[in-house]
Every structure is written in C-alpha cells, then in structure tokens.
Amino acid sequence: MSIQGCAAPEQTVALPAGIDLASQAVIQGVVTGAGTAYARLLDHSGEFTGEVVVSEEGVFRFFAAPGSWTVRIIAGGGVSKDIPVEAKVGEVAQLAVSV
C-alpha cells in the first residue's frame, strides 16, 4: 500500500487520467458558499445511492448509470439543495451549485 493509503482520488474539476468517457456517465459539479458540504446521489425514486465529501475547492464527482438522478448538496446550518440531472454515457453532466 502506498503512503496515501486506499483513499479516493483527489476531487478536481479535471477528470482523472484513464477515464474513458466512451463507457462512463459522469456527474460532477462545484459547490460555492458552503464550507464543508456533502454531495449525495439519489436515484430516480429518491433512494440513496452514494455520497461524497465535497473537496476544499467545492468539487464533487459521481460515476453513475445512465438515467435520471438527483444530487443533494448538504451543508452546515441545515442547508439542503436538490438538483435534478440526467446522466448520459460519453458525457460529463456539469453542475454549478450555490448554497
């Protein structure tokens, strides 16, 4: 194991090297005005699918199946914001979220 351990890759706006968009549907975005925040991925029925901590720069990313999703941003002070998004193979769905 490396010194960095088995942590997730750093969240940046640029996709990590080796990501083949021909076979991936990506949902990513930048959250502003939140400080510490979480991005939660909900499926078309509202069921929890995954969650990531938003990076210090406000970036989050999910690799999702094609279809309709909701990204829920959860920030301090009880702030919660839902953003509907459509994921498509070969595309990066870009979100800009201000809380």
At which residue do the structure tokens 């990076």 appear?
55
Q: What is the pLDDT of residues 33-53, one digit of tens each?
A: 988 999 999 999 999 999 999
Q: What is the mean pLDDT of residues 7-13?
A: 57
Domain 24-98 has CATH 2.60.40.10: yes
pLDDT, tens digit (0-9, with 9 covering 90-100), for 39-88:
999 999 999 999 999 999 999 999 999 999 999 999 988 999 999 999 99
Stated as kind and residue range, the H or E segment containing 92 is strand 92-98
Domain limits, the chain: 24-98
pLDDT of the residue at 54: 95
Closest CA to 40 of 7, 79, 91: 79
pTM attached to this predicted model: 0.81
- Residue 47 is predicted with a pLDDT of 96
Tokens of 16: 């990590």
